[in-house]
Chain A
């Protein structure tokens, strides 16, 4: 659905079902240079099982207009503004990669708006190498290709797919290329500049969960495990043979881990 937020258009996928506010919505937050499409198979799965689902495109991503936000905190504030405009008081967050950093910040600074936090392929900080940031600025298509290449595990690179006939790597490239130019660079800078993850994690009190890809090269397993330690969570799922793009590469394992974590009204 399309929402007008401060004069800009925000697109939010509702999992293919009309949005109806029931209980605390599952609130998906996409990663750097991604969009609502990275959660397609999660959104549809939960919406078809009676949850209210929102997977919003942040400004300049997917089908949303506006200029890209440049700090994790600004992104959190934007999500709160979107919740306000939809009359949503509290959400159950699923954050992928950079979306996980936003989730940490939201759960820490807006304790009364977040009831549960699931972190998928993320860490307490995401140091991005200078080369990639530079490419994102000056050679965006090359940066996209590198991220898609590094982001996928063995399934993506074998060109096999759970959805018959589809291709992870080429889809990933086109999905990222459909964002407005500059969005990826702003995201990567925001990730690099966020260094509050450790202290945020120490103060988060809501139930948390981690889903980590064993072959993740972008937010490697050991950093995911460190985040679990800082959050004192025992709810950790390690998905074998999975890379960073877990939600699309291993949707069934991700959905299986997410489902018992959420509450339903």
Chain B
């Protein structure tokens, strides 16, 4: 018991103790909404946050807690709250920190719904966002205002694959008295632990690589506990009287756990995007093999890059591990084991050729997800962005010949054969 367990051991064991009565070796699915109190004193103690335990599954649940404790261990957090989706994790994070009149500085190159939440939803509630290029640390510094409550971005941007230097931007944010919140969906703690590299709060869409099987949506907020909320007067939601628990001051009472306590007592209690116990169970099964799967994702991605770079039907290939990627050096420093398993590339022949490729793949699945154990492909030009003109696509950082590939775990020979034949069909267009 000296030193913490390593990554794969934590992925398999962290956060779970078999119960004494039955000794179930697998994490049981506690499919229940509520928990029988021992007596009135016990009930009151739970409501007062005097003792640990569960009272209602919107707030916490034993199966969900194992998932939370496991991801907190993997990501070096002091605690975590799991949510019904990755988007819900981002929303409850914003809710805990920001009020009307507040401001966020965010990367401009992110998953569409992340951008939409900031640009179109939060703005209706008086929370404004300044978007800056993820690879321009000075722009982050310049955009921080006295009412800025968080700096946000994705380490590996979806879908543009820009890399955010979280060590540098984390220092910029923290020097200005603001936390760095990171969406780590594309890197997972296997490739990079943001909390150990400059971030204060991490969110994941567990739907993707963490689960890996594509059978359950889920999200999580992990609190690094490494940001001093009391250093300035910026965070009244954490340093002033809380509406619950006799007006407790979360910062004084719970110290490093102030933020994650607010997420649970406000985000879960008042809004309620809780994760179902069954989905938590499925996600735990996935996380057990995260390390093994990520190794294979990385090796297949390398082989796929090599294949695409040498294929005459492909006009360009973008991935942060390729020396011509503008953020190549940053990616290598932050993520020496690999920079994710999503590849962007262009098919010769433009929008129609891209469409033909997608319609002819057989092993790869054509769908709108990433991070599955199976290889996934999408052609934004003929699907998600089909309504855009080539010019509008360009300004969104996309081109009409672009394919997004989420490289899976299949035997690479089969993937290669599948891509060869689909590219042959595309070349006929």
Give chain A's interface residues, CB within 8 Å of chain B: 11, 13, 16-17, 35, 37, 40-41, 44-45, 48, 62-63, 149-150, 153-155, 157-167, 169-171, 174-175, 177-178, 251-252, 255
Contacts and interface: CB of A to CB of B under 8 A. Distances in A.
Contact of B65 (A153, A157, A165, A177): A165
Interface in B28-80: 44-45, 48-54, 60-62, 64-65, 68-70, 72-73, 76-80
Contacts of B60: 164-165
Interface string B1-44: 11111000010011111000000000000000000000000001
B255 A161 contact: no
Interface stretch (B170-178, B225-233, B388-396): B225-233
28 contacts: A16-B246, A16-B253, A37-B254, A41-B50, A44-B48, A44-B49, A44-B50, A48-B45, A155-B17, A157-B4, A158-B14, A158-B16, A158-B17, A159-B14, A160-B69, A161-B79, A164-B52, A164-B61, A164-B62, A165-B60, A166-B69, A166-B257, A170-B72, A170-B73, A170-B78, A174-B224, A175-B256, A178-B228
Contacts of B14: 158-159
A163 B52 contact: yes
Given A165-B60, A167-B73, A177 B226 contact: yes
B90 interface: no
A251 B3 CA distance: 23
Given A154-B1, A251-B51, A252-B51, A160 B15 contact: yes
Contacts of A41: 50-52
Interface residues of B, number: 53
A62 B81 CA distance: 25
State the 9 A-B residue pairs at the shortest beta-carbon distance, nearest first. Answer: A162-B52, A165-B68, A164-B60, A174-B225, A174-B256, A164-B65, A159-B14, A166-B79, A159-B73
B319 interface: no
Contacts of B10: 159
Contact of A13 (B50, B77, B82, B253): B253
A174 B226 CA distance: 6
Nearest to B75: A170
The listed residue with most B CB atoms (<10 A of its CB), out of A40, A158, A164, A252, is A164
A149 B4 contact: yes
A247 B309 CA distance: 58
Nearest to A158: B17
B2 A158 contact: no
Contacts of A171: 78-79, 225, 256-257
Given A161-B69, A166-B79, A251-B52, A150 B2 contact: yes
B398 interface: no
Contacts of A13: 252-253
A74 B80 CA distance: 39
Contact of A158 (B15, B78, B252, B253): B15
Contact of B2 (A17, A149, A169, A170): A149
Contacts of A158: 13-17
B248 interface: yes
Contacts of B103: none
Nearest to A241: B17
Contacts of A153: 1
A40 B253 CA distance: 7
A169 B73 CA distance: 9
Nearest to B68: A165
Contacts of B80: 165, 167
A35 B252 CA distance: 11
Nearest to B71: A165
B290 interface: no
A159 B69 contact: yes
Given A161-B65, A162-B53, 17 more contacts: A11-B252, A16-B245, A16-B246, A41-B51, A44-B253, A149-B1, A153-B1, A157-B5, A159-B14, A159-B69, A160-B15, A163-B79, A165-B81, A170-B72, A171-B256, A174-B256, A175-B256
A178 B69 contact: no
Nearest to B16: A160
A63 B69 CA distance: 27
Given A62-B255, A170-B78, A149 B246 contact: no
Interface in B124-171: none
A37 B53 contact: no
Nearest to B4: A169
B177 to A, nearest CB: 16
Contacts of A150: 2
B288 to A, nearest CB: 14
Contacts of A37: 254-256
B351 interface: no
B262 interface: no
A180 B257 CA distance: 18
Interface string B77-107: 1111110000000000000000000000000
A154 B18 CA distance: 13
Interface string B393-417: 0000000000000000000000000
